[in-house]
Amino acid sequence: MRVALLCPDMSNDSTERIVAHLRAWIAAAPAGARLPSSRALTRELGVSPVTVQKAMHQLNALGLIETRPGVGTFVRAGRPPSPVDFGWQTGALGTPRVRIPSLSSTQQVVSPDAIALHSGYPTRELLPTKLVQTAIARAARSASAAARSPAGGLPELQTWFANELAGATLAGAPPVTGRDVIILPGSQSGLSSIFRAVVGPGQPLAIESPTYWGAIVAAAQAGVVLVPIPTGSDGPNPETVDDVLRRSGARAFYAQPTFANPTGAQWSPERSRAILDIVRNRRAFLIEDDWAHDLGIDADPAPIATHDTEGHVIYLRSLTKSVSPALRVAAVIARGPVRDRIFTDLAAETMYVSGLLQTAALEVVSQPSWRAHLKRLRMELRTRRDFLAESVAEHVPQAHIENVPAGGLNLWLRLPQATDLARLSRDTAAHNVFIAAGDEWFPAEAASPHIRLNFSGPEPERYPEAARAIGVALTAQGC
Amino acid sequence: MRVALLCPDMSNDSTERIVAHLRAWIAAAPAGARLPSSRALTRELGVSPVTVQKAMHQLNALGLIETRPGVGTFVRAGRPPSPVDFGWQTGALGTPRVRIPSLSSTQQVVSPDAIALHSGYPTRELLPTKLVQTAIARAARSASAAARSPAGGLPELQTWFANELAGATLAGAPPVTGRDVIILPGSQSGLSSIFRAVVGPGQPLAIESPTYWGAIVAAAQAGVVLVPIPTGSDGPNPETVDDVLRRSGARAFYAQPTFANPTGAQWSPERSRAILDIVRNRRAFLIEDDWAHDLGIDADPAPIATHDTEGHVIYLRSLTKSVSPALRVAAVIARGPVRDRIFTDLAAETMYVSGLLQTAALEVVSQPSWRAHLKRLRMELRTRRDFLAESVAEHVPQAHIENVPAGGLNLWLRLPQATDLARLSRDTAAHNVFIAAGDEWFPAEAASPHIRLNFSGPEPERYPEAARAIGVALTAQGC
C-alpha cells in the first residue's frame, strides 16, 4: 500500500492534513499493519520530520497506532471505527432542485394492538389471500418466472385491462386495445411518469384539492407546479375547472372521479360529461386515477375513460389495494402520441415489470372466485363504513361527516376550525388510536381541519373505542 | 343526454362544427338512440334550421344516422368505429423536454430457432430455476405476500446486502449497515433516481464510454448532461478521470469497475484505489454499478465501495441477472445525506417494492445451494466464453477481441473501421443470427465499430455457426 496514492495533493505542510490523510490510510489498513517509517513519510509526503512526528503523536493519542520501540509503528488492533463526517456531501449536492415531501403519516408502522385508522391499505382479512397464494404458486411454475417480460407488459394482462375498460365503453367510441395499455410496477410509478412526460418540470398541473397525497408527492418529484381545484362531496365544480384550466394554461387535470381519496366523492354522470367536455375544449388531458375501481359499496365505478373518443383521458388502474400489496401491478391506458411519451419515460425508469407478478395478478382476476371475493368485500366494507360512521356520530359530535362515501376505504371528517391537528394525532396515539391528519391531502393550504379515518384496517369492533378517544381528545382542546 | 353539454362554445354558425359535435354525440350514444328533433337542435345549438338540415345530410352520407320518416332520426346500428385523429395531442404536448432513446436492440424478441447473441439476459438453464420456484412458493405463504413492505425495503434483505459488502470491507472502514441500503424494483430505477437526486437536470455526469446503454437511457430521462470518459480493457485512465472531473465540474462518475458491460474490463486494485482518491479529492461521487457481482469467471469482484471511508461511493447491486429476471430486486447502498436524497426520490417514484419479491430473493441467496449454483454458473460461463472466443477467432478473422473478460456475460469485438454495423446486423439476422451493434453503448460517437456478443443465451453449441455467419457478412462488406 503506497501512501502517495492517498496524498496526491500534499503540498501544504500542515500537521492536520497529514493526520487526516494518515487516518484515511489507517482506516483502510488491516489491524496490525505497519506504517511506513518516519523517514519514508517525510520523503513521500514532502514534509518536515517535525511535522511527521507531531502527526504520529496525535494518532497515538487518538488510539489509532501503537509504537513498538526499535520495531516500528503499527495500526492498533481493536480500534473503534471512527464516526464519519459526511458534511462534504451537502456541499457537493447543493440545495435540492425540488422539495419532495417526506413519506406520509399513513405509512407509519404501529404496534399490533393499536387501532389503525391511519393506514391506506386493507387488512389481510379483506384480501383474497388464498386466491393470491395459489396464483403465485402457479405463476412460479410458469415460464414467466424465468423470463424477461416485454417493456409494455405481458400481452395477456394488457388485454385484460383493455377489455375491462372496453367492456364498459359506449358503442361507437373506438375501443381500447391491449396496445394502449402499459403495465406498471404499482400506480405510483405511473403518476411519476405521467407527470414527467405529459406536464414536465415548471409546468402547471391542475389537481383536485384535497386529493391523494401520493399524487402530490409524485408531482413534487416531477417538479410540476400544482394548481389546486377545490373539490367536495360531488367532485369539483365544472366552471371552476374551466376557469382554472383557462387561467393557468394547464394542459392536464389530475382527478379521482370515483370514490376519491380522501373525500369519497363520486362525480355524477352529468358532471363527468361536463368536465370531459371542458377538458376536450381546452385541448387538455384528464388524468383519471381510478384507484377504487374494485371498492364500490353502494355504487359501481363508471370510468370517464369509457366516454373518451379523442384520447383526452389518461386512465390509471391499480390492483394493489384489491388483490394484494405484494402483487404490485397497475396499468396506465392512453391512446395516441401521449401513450408513447409515457411509455418511453416508463421504459427508461423501470425497463419492465416482473413477469411473476403480472402472471399471478392475471391469474387472480381471471378466477370466478375473484368476482365472489369482490361481492363479499363490498358487503364487508359497507358494514365497516356504517359502523365507523355511527361510532363517529355517537362519540365525536364535533366532527362533520361531509359524505358517507358510496365506495372506497375512507371517512373524511371535518373538524372545528380551531382544531390543532398535530396535537389531536399525538393525543389519540397516546391512547393507541392512529388517525391521519388531513393536511397531507392538500396541495396548498387546507381551508379547514380534517382527519381521514380508514375503515379497512384490523379489528373493526374497536371503532367505538377509537371514536371515543378522538372525541375526548377534541374536547380536551376545547372543541 | 343533453346536447348542450357537448357544445358549450357553439357561437360560430358553421355546418362543419355542428357535424363535428354531433359526431361526438353519436360516438358516445348507443346504437339506435334517437337524435333530438331538428327543432330542438336549432334551439339548443342556436343555429339556423338550414344549418341543422345540412349537418343531418352529411351525417346521413357518412352512414352514422338513419331517418325514419314520421318517426325520427336514429344512431345507425353496426357503424364502424371511426378512426381517431390524435393530432391535437402533439400540439398539447409540445416538443419533448428530453429525448430518451428508444429501447435497445438487445431487448428484441427473436424466434426460438434463432441464435440469440444480442440479448443481455441469461437463458433459463443458467438460472437457479428450481431454487427460485421453491423460494417463491415459500414466500407466497409468508406474511409478506399480503403486507405492504417498508419504503426502504424488508429489514432482513437490507441487512443481507449490507453484510455482503461489509464482509469485504477493509478493517477500520466504518461498516455498512442495513440502514444504508435501499431496496429497488430493479437497478434501472436506481439509476434513474441516483441521476435525478445526485446530479439533476442540466448538470454534468461523467460516464465511461462505452458503457451500459440502460445508464445512458436513464441519464437522458433524468436530463443530465453526459461527459464521456474513454475506457478500455483496463478501465479508464485515472489522469483522464481527474481531467474530465476538473474540466466539466461533474460531481459524479458512473462506472462499472467489475466486468464492465460491454468491455468486460475489471479495474486493477491500483487503478481502483487511484480513481477513488481522485473522486475523493474532487469531492465527487463514484456511482459504482456492480452489475456482474455474481458473474465472476476467472476473477472475483472487489467492490471499490469496500474502500470507501467517507461516503464517496454510491453502490448499486442487482440480483436480476443471477437470480431471476422475474425476481426484480436490487439495492443501492449509500451513506450520509446522499442516501437520504436518493431515498426520497425513490420513495416518491416507487413507494415500496413487493414484499413477495424481496422475501423470495432473500430466500434464494440464503440457501447453501445458491453458492453451489454460483460455482456451477462460473464453470459454465467459462466454457461458453472460451468456446465463443475460439469460434470468433476461427471464423471472424476481421474481428479483434480486445479483452477476454474475467467475468460478465459478453465478448466485445472491435471490427474494421469501414464496417457498416446496421448492414451487418441485418445480414446476420437474415441468417437467424442476432448480434448487438456497439453504438448503443456509446454516450457520444463510437470511435470505432464494435459488436457485443452475449455468451449466456440458449444453444452455445451453435457458436461456430453464428461466428461463420458474422464472418461471411463482414467479407460481403469487403472487410
Query: What is the pLDDT tens value at each position of chain B, 479 positions in all?
Result: 333 333 334 444 578 888 888 888 887 787 788 888 888 888 888 888 888 888 888 888 877 888 887 888 888 876 555 667 888 998 888 888 778 877 688 888 888 899 999 998 899 899 999 999 999 999 998 887 668 888 899 999 999 999 999 877 665 567 788 999 999 999 999 999 999 999 999 999 999 999 999 999 999 999 999 999 999 889 999 999 999 999 999 999 999 999 999 999 999 999 999 999 999 999 999 999 999 999 999 999 999 999 998 999 999 999 989 999 889 999 999 999 999 999 999 999 888 999 999 999 999 999 999 999 999 999 999 999 999 999 999 999 999 998 999 999 999 999 999 999 999 999 999 999 999 999 999 999 888 999 999 999 999 999 999 999 999 999 999 88
Of B146, B273, B281, the CB nearest to A129: B146
Helix, strand, coil content of chain A in percent (nearest 5):
45, 15, 40
Instruction: Label the pairing between strands B436-437 and B400-401.
Output: unpaired
State the best of A106, A127, A148, A241 to mutate against chain B, taking most chain B CBs within 10 Å.
Answer: A148
Of B92, B217, B351, the CB nearest to A188: B351
Return left, alpha or beta for A214; rule: phi > 0 is left, psi -120 to 50 is alpha, else beta: alpha
Of A102, A141, A170, the CB nearest to B28: A170
Of B5, B150, B217, the CB nearest to A274: B5
Q: Measured between alpha carbons, how far is B92 from B21 in angstroms, rounded to an integer?
A: 20
Nearest to B77 by CA among B66, B67, B62, B68: B66
What pLDDT is recorded for position B169?
A: 67
Cα of B315 to nearest chain A Cα, Å: 15
Joined together, the cell numbers standing for residue A353 give 415489470
Q: Measured between alpha carbons, how far is B200 from A98 in angstroms, rounded to an integer?
A: 10
Q: Where are the alpha helices (DSSP H) in B397-462?
A: 421-430
Q: Measured between alpha carbons, how far is B145 from B133 in angstroms, rounded to an integer?
A: 15
| Whether A147 and B124 lie within 8 Å, measured CB to CB | yes
Residue with cell 473478460: B405
| Whether B146 and A124 lie within 8 Å, measured CB to CB | yes
Residue in chain A lying closest to B170 (CA) = A28
Local structure of residue B432 (DSSP, 8 states): T
What value, to the nearest 5°, has the Cα angle with vertex A73 and ends A68 and A79? 100
pLDDT per residue as tens, chain A (479 positions): 333 333 334 444 578 888 888 887 887 787 788 888 888 888 888 888 888 888 888 888 877 888 887 888 888 876 555 667 888 998 888 888 778 877 688 888 888 899 999 998 899 899 999 999 999 999 998 887 668 888 899 999 999 999 999 877 665 567 788 999 999 999 999 999 999 999 999 999 999 999 999 999 999 999 999 999 999 889 999 999 999 999 999 999 999 999 999 999 999 999 999 999 999 999 999 999 999 999 999 999 999 999 998 999 999 999 988 999 889 999 999 999 999 999 999 999 888 999 999 999 999 999 999 999 999 999 999 999 999 999 999 999 999 998 999 999 999 999 999 999 999 999 999 999 999 999 999 999 888 999 999 999 999 999 999 999 999 999 999 88
| Whether A84 and B311 lie within 8 Å, measured CB to CB | yes
Nearest to A52 by CA among A41, A68, A67: A41
Whether the Cβ atoms of residue B188 and residue A347 lie closer than 8 Å to each other = no
Q: Which residues on chain A are in Cβ contact (under 8 Å) with B324? A: 145-146
| Whether A84 and B328 lie within 8 Å, measured CB to CB | no
Nearest to B283 by CA among B229, B245, B226: B245
Residue with cell 438487445: B106
> Mind listing the domains of chain B with CATH numbers?
8-75 (1.10.10.10), 105-125+371-476 (3.90.1150.10), 129-367 (3.40.640.10)
| Whether B84 and A325 lie within 8 Å, measured CB to CB | no
Q: Which residues on chain A are in Cβ contact (under 8 Å) with B93? A: 198, 251, 337-338, 341
What pLDDT is recorded for position B170?
A: 63
Q: Which residues on chain A are in Cβ contact (under 8 Å) with B350? A: 185-186, 188-189
Q: Which residues on chain A are in Cβ contact (under 8 Å) with B197? A: 96
What pLDDT is recorded for position B4?
A: 39
What pLDDT is recorded for position B171?
A: 57
Residue in chain B lying closest to A33 (CA) = B171
Nearest to B443 by CA among B250, B165, B277, B310: B250
pLDDT tens digit sequence for A377-399: 999 999 999 999 999 999 999 99
Cα of B476 to nearest chain A Cα, Å: 34
Distances (CA, A) of A96 to A191, A223, B161: 21, 11, 28
Residue in chain B lying closest to A152 (CA) = B103
Q: DSSP secondary structure string, A362-403?
A: HHHHHSHHHHHHHHHHHHHHHHHHHHHHHHHHHH-TT-EE--
Q: Where are the alpha helices (DSSP H) in B209-268?
A: 213-222, 238-248
Q: Measured between alpha carbons, how far is A5 from A435 in angstroms, rounded to an integer?
A: 56
Of A31, A133, A345, the CB nearest to B145: A133
pTM of the model: 0.83
Joined together, the cell numbers standing for residue B369 give 445451494
Q: Measured between alpha carbons, how far is A77 from A82 in angstroms, rounded to an integer?
A: 13
Helix axes A238-248, A269-281, angle to 10 degrees: 20
Burial per residue of A65-95, b for 16 or more beta-carbon CB atoms within 10 angstroms, e otherwise: beeeeeeebbbbeebeebeeebebbeebbee
C-alpha A351 chain-centroid distance: 19
Nearest to A460 by CA among A345, A400, A383: A383
What φ, ψ does residue B63 adopt, rounded to 5°? 75, 20
Q: Which residues on chain B are in Cβ contact (under 8 Å) with A171? A: 29-31
Q: Which residues on chain B are in Cβ contact (under 8 Å) with A343? A: none
Residues forming a β-bridge with A141 = none
Q: Measured between alpha carbons, how far is B138 from B327 in angstroms, rounded to an integer?
A: 14
What pLDDT is recorded for position B1?
A: 37
Of B150, B281, B341, the CB nearest to A9: B281
Q: Which residues on chain A are in Cβ contact (under 8 Å) with B140? A: 132-133, 136-137, 140
Nearest to B102 by CA among B23, B183, B214: B214
